[in-house]
């Protein structure tokens, strides 16, 4: 075959759509495209021929040939008749799949990383070749690119963890055998996003880095000595940019002791890593990072009632332990959010957090999903795939609806819970993982044990730390707080022009409902009312007729005196603001309270929509900042 054994320079084939979206293939050999199992891209499209097209080398240039396919091969919108010489930015369409040709210096950013792949998405590079690639004048070889892509390959399965930046920093630090590593915001002064190990930057180093940043953003890896001076051969620091698409706001810094400095070759390796990291969704990785996420997550568990206060206390207590937790509660009570909060507060918060919903998987696929499989283990198993247990190694596995697991899989899961190794489906290699389990169910597992549908030994193994999440009907006093939070969240999501507020009679209807769907049902009802309401004040007429009916039979607890008092106070303040057309000074006089007190209560009850704003304020009503809405947390509350 023409061109065999000849490298196709530094071009990359990028899969832009289809089942292999995000995959990168180095053009280092002839590339077969089609439904043949030997194809370098897996196509799931009947319109694609078995041998559809071939990327080959002709006159030292990569060319694309159509192999007599039925539906044709298209480049940049035109069907090719014989062959087409490939150039960067070419777009190839085969059936429903779009591919792009790019060089390492102009590779499209931010493709979606393959969800289950244990590899990098870059095809095999020649390990034996040290052919230099001209990339900003640095001596990057294919061996370095291979090493960098292998590093990214180990990071790819961790991009779905709660805070993927932490394993990213740890893995790169380990590969470079650095004493310390960290990510810093590029805007001077250098603000630390996350650091690991012994990473202390002296004032002189920081000053020189800031000075360089003021001149221009770094485009390649820098090798520095302990004073911050750029070096060519050896140095104690390596600094390279972290790019998120076309955006570059972060620096990655590696530090070594002067007794064992970095070499120039490691600087070139860092430059190769700069390119390969673009295969990961860096923007999402950096946005997910929050050193205070554990506290934020706990703050999203809304409710000041005694029941919800106890839930938060137990979450904090369980997070400090390393034992299995069983979350028990009805559908819609927020078991998933509790599990996430336990992980984010625990010592494993910087490690993967993986969720598995047993009710959403076919029974015959559950074992492969949990334990992984080898290539050829069953029909359709074309590659080795790591299971959720392997992906969660070192972190937390949230196993939702554990009562739906088949009995045979319960026995295998019990062995893993007891610390025993396991095999992938079709595999012979024993795998051991360190995983903390958080299990959840809305079923009565004790009754299932008595009925023989759930293993007794597994039940005792997961029922070490138990958290019973109360249904909403048992703490109705939290509804005003929940409504205020949920309205703000929904308003943000739908992009509402108005700041919605519920009238007192609408609140009474909500308080009189049984809420069999718990907070999930409450959220849906609020969203429906907000979407249908023509005015910002949602009154009783907008409440669905099935909510709070007089003949509704419930076993709920009555609201506490504090709730009733707050409801009456909210109603009176709303009436006063409506009567005075939103003029706060007049409303305060009408209520017999001071203006600052009224401001606090308007903010507490979320009544900012009823306040007159801007130039319409009366001369005697000194204008203040009326943006009284509370800052919205990032996740839905639980009941």
**Which tops the pLDDT comparison, 610 or 477?**
477
For residue 486, give the 3-state DSSP assignment: helix
Greatest mean pLDDT among 181-190, 280-289, 400-409 lies in 400-409
- The residue ranges of DSSP E strands in 67-218, in sequence order, are 74-75, 78-79, 83-85, 91-94, 97-103, 132-135, 138-141, 180-185, 191-197
> pLDDT at residue 157 above 50?
yes
- The residue ranges of DSSP E strands in 279-435, in sequence order, are 325-328, 353-357, 372-373, 385-386, 396-400, 422-423, 430-431
Per-residue pLDDT band for 274 (boundaries 50, 70, 90) equals: confident
How far apart (Å, rounded) are the C-alpha atoms in residues 194 and 129?
Answer: 36
The residue among 558, 416, 374 whose CA lies nearest residue 476 is 558
How far apart (Å, rounded) are the C-alpha atoms in residues 251 and 138?
Answer: 19
Mean pLDDT value across residues 360-369 = 82
> pLDDT at residue 203 above 90?
no
Q: How much helix, strand and coil, in percent to the nearest 5, is found in the chain?
A: 35, 20, 45
How far apart (Å, rounded) are the C-alpha atoms in residues 13 and 90?
Answer: 10
> pLDDT at residue 96 above 50?
yes
Tens-place pLDDT, residues 340-357 = 889 888 878 767 888 888
Phi/psi at 270 (5° precision): -65, -35
How far apart (Å, rounded) are the C-alpha atoms in residues 393 and 395?
Answer: 5
For residue 576, give the 3-state DSSP assignment: helix
Phi/psi at 351 (5° precision): -110, 170
The residue among 10, 11, 12, 15 whose CA lies nearest residue 93 is 15
At residue 125, the pLDDT reads 34
Per-residue pLDDT band for 161 (boundaries 50, 70, 90) equals: low
- As beta bridge partners, residue 138 has 135
- The residue ranges of DSSP E strands in 82-144, in sequence order, are 83-85, 91-94, 97-103, 132-135, 138-141
- The residue ranges of DSSP E strands in 325-463, in sequence order, are 325-328, 353-357, 372-373, 385-386, 396-400, 422-423, 430-431, 436-441
Is residue 287 packed enough to be buried (19+ CB in 10 Å), middle (13-18) or exposed (0-12)?
A: exposed
> pLDDT at residue 158 above 70?
no
How far apart (Å, rounded) are the C-alpha atoms in residues 122 and 95?
Answer: 22
Greatest mean pLDDT among 124-133, 259-268, 609-618 lies in 259-268
Average of per-residue pLDDT values in the chain = 76
Contact 138, 329 (CB under 8 A): no
At residue 565, the pLDDT reads 67
**Which tops the pLDDT comparison, 556 or 341?**
341
Q: How many residues does the chain have?
A: 639
Where helices occur in 381-433 by DSSP H, the ranges are: 388-391, 407-417
How far apart (Å, rounded) are the C-alpha atoms in residues 118 and 574?
Answer: 58
- As beta bridge partners, residue 396 has 353, 436
Provide the whole-model pTM. 0.50
Which residues make Cβ contacts (< 8 Å) with residue 132, sequence separation at least 6? 139, 140, 141
Mean pLDDT value across residues 406-410 = 90
Which residues make Cβ contacts (< 8 Å) with residue 363, sequence separation at least 6? 406
**What is the torsional sign of CA 385, 390, 396, 401?**
positive
Per-residue pLDDT band for 366 (boundaries 50, 70, 90) equals: confident
For residue 518, give the 3-state DSSP assignment: helix
Contact 348, 396 (CB under 8 A): yes
How many other CB atoms are found less than 10 A from the CB of residue 592?
A: 7
Contact 339, 639 (CB under 8 A): no
At residue 29, the pLDDT reads 67
Rg (CA), the chain: 30
At residue 349, the pLDDT reads 75
Reply yes or no: is the peptide bond before residue 189 cis, omega within 30 of 0.
yes
């Amino acid at each position: 075959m023409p061109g065999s054994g000849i490298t196709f320079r530094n071009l990359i084939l990028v899969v832009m759509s289809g089942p292999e979206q995000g995959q990168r293939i180095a053009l280092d050999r002839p590339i077969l495209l089609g439904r043949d199992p030997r194809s370098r891209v897996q196509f799931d499209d009947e319109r694609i021929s078995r041998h559809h097209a071939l990327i080959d080398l002709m006159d030292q240039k990569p060319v694309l040939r159509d192999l007599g396919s039925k539906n044709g091969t298209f480049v940049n919108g035109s069907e090719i008749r014989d062959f087409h010489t490939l150039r960067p930015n070419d777009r190839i369409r085969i059936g429903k799949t779009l591919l792009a040709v790019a060089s390492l210096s102009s590779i499209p950013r931010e493709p979606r990383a393959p969800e289950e792949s244990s590899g990098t998405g870059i095809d095999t590079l020649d390990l034996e070749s040290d052919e230099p690639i001209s990339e900003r004048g640095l001596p990057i070889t294919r061996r370095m690119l291979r090493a960098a892509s292998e590093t990214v390959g180990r990071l790819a399965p961790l991009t779905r963890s709660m805070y993927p930046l932490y394993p990213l920093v740890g893995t790169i630090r380990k590969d470079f055998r650095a004493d310390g590593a960290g990510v810093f915001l590029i805007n001077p002064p250098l603000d630390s996003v996350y650091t690991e190990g012994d990473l202390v930057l002296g004032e002189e180093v920081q000053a020189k880095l800031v000075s360089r940043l003021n001149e221009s953003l770094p485009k390649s890896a820098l090798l520095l000595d302990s004073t911050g001076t750029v070096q060519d051969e050896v140095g104690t620091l390596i600094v390279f940019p972290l790019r998120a698409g076309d955006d570059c706001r972060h620096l990655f810094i590696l530090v070594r002791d002067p007794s064992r400095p970095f070499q120039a070759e490691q600087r070139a390796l860092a430059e190769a890593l700069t390119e390969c990291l673009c295969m990961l969704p860096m923007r999402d990785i950096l946005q997910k990072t929050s050193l205070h996420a554990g506290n934020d997550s706990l703050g999203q568990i809304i409710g000041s009632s005694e029941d919800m206060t106890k839930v938060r206390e137990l979450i904090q207590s369980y997070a400090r332990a390393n034992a299995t937790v069983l979350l028990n509660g009805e559908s819609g009570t927020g078991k998933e959010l509790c599990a996430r909060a336990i992980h984010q507060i625990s010592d494993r918060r910087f490690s993967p957090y993986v969720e598995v919903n047993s009710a959403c998987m076919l029974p015959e696929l559950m074992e492969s999903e949990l334990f992984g499989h080898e290539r050829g283990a069953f029909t359709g198993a074309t590659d080795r795939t790591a299971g959720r247990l392997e992906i969660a190694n070192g972190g937390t596995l949230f196993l939702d609806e554990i009562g739906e697991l088949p009995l045979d899989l319960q026995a295998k899961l019990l062995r893993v819970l007891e610390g025993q190794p396991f095999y992938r489906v079709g595999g012979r290699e024993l795998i051991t993982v360190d995983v903390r389990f958080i299990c959840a169910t809305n079923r009565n597992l004790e009754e299932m044990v008595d009925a023989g549908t759930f293993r007794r030994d597994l039940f005792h193994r997961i029922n070490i730390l138990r958290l019973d999440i109360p249904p909403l009907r048992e703490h109705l006093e939290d509804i005003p707080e929940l409504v205020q939070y949920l309205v703000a969240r929904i308003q943000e999501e739908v992009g509402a022009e108005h700041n919605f507020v519920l009238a007192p009679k609408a609140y009474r209807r909500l308080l009189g409902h049984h809420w069999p769907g718990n907070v999930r049902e409450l959220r849906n009802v609020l969203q429906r009312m907000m979407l249908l309401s023509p005015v910002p004040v949602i009154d009783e007429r907008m409440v669905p007729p099935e909510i709070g009916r007089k003949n509704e039979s419930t076993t709920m607890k009555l609201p506490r005196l504090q709730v009733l008092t707050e409801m009456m106070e909210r109603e009176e303040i709303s009436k006063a603001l409506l009567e005075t057309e939103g003029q706060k000074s007049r409303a305060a006089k009408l209520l017999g309270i001071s203006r600052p007190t009224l401001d606090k209560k308007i903010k507490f009850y979320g009544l900012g929509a009823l306040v007159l704003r801007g130039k319409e304020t009366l001369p005697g009503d000194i204008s203040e900042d009326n943006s009284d809405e509370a800052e919205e947390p990032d996740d839905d509350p639980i009941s």
